[in-house]
Amino acid sequence: MSPPFELLGSHSCFGGEQRFYRHDSAAIGLPMKFAVYLPPQAIQGPVPAVLYLAGLTCNEETFAIKAGAQRVAAELGLAVIAPDTSPRGEAAESLPGATDSWDFGIGAGFYLDATQEPWRTHWRMESYLMNDLLPQVAEQLPVDGKRLGIFGHSMGGHGALTLALRHPGRFRSVSAFAPLCAPMQCPWGTKAFSGYLGDDTTIWLEHDATVLMQHQPIAPYPGVILIDQGLADKFLADQLHPQLLEAACAAIGQPLTLRRHAGYDHGYYFVQSFMADHLRHHAQQLLALPSSAEAPAR
């Protein structure tokens, strides 16, 4: 049995609880923090959950404070797990560049396992999520570890797409807000990949959602992938490239609902605006509820 989580705070919210925890991670080698919203239905037994991955400059509190998800999660009976984006603490922050969140350091874990020094010891976010956090949450909290969805925003949208494709069968549903869809073709992605993974671009292929989709033998998520993208997003043209993932999905017959929204930017006002749609998208596949993924763009 894993060591128990350390409860840092708990707040009543829409009949459920918004909790914040710290725990030791074998993969990271340092303590990690995460948030979890438990809906009122969790009192009666394990509930399905969605794993939310945040973007650059965020931490485990960002989603709980800014996304406005708890009311709808409570209605649907979904738990929402939101980890920190990167290792923290003295050992992590002592690395060169680690305190600069725009320099693939703190706040920019990119949800992969680094292979290059000085990052390889602690920057192991993929192993942390898949082998430490999710199994321990299912073991210690009223969460059904066999009914999981995954979603995220920006860098976290990249993480949601790549982890969903790299771990077939682990997640039943996937969605993203303004994700980095082809990180090998954007400045953020190439900088992070070169720092974390080195100069061998054949390794980069394993962490690029568009490339991973191109190599799927069949559509991996027949229940539809949902992506929302703001057309006033200043990062759309240079960093995000949703059209490339759209083409890759079309080529293999992967159902994709890619909604483009005039006037919306990259921030959490955008995320809040469509959060209910994403939670219902996951509930449709985790709880067999009617889908709202085809709702018209606003």
d(CA 192, CA 108): 8
Establish whether 266 is a catalytic residue: yes
- Computed over its alpha carbons, how large is the radius of gyration of the chain? 18
d(CA 147, CA 173): 9
Establish whether 23 is a catalytic residue: no
Structure tokens at 33: 């923090």
For 42, which DSSP code? G
Catalytic residue among 84, 233, 241, 281: 233
Write out the DSSP string of 244-256: HHHHHHHHHT--E
Structure tokens at 252: 């293999």
Residues in the chain: 298
Catalytic residue among 23, 158, 241, 266: 266
Catalytic residue among 25, 86, 101, 154: 154
Establish whether 103 is a catalytic residue: no
Cβ contact 48:150 at 8 Å = no
Adjacent-strand bridge partners of 226: 175, 257
Distance of CA 98 to the CA centre of its chain: 21
Structure tokens at 246: 């759209």
d(CA 221, CA 255): 7
Closest to 60 measured CA to CA, from 148, 183, 156, 145: 156
- For β-strands 79-83 and 31-38, DSSP reports them as antiparallel
d(CA 146, CA 49): 9
Which residues are catalytic, by number? 154, 233, 266
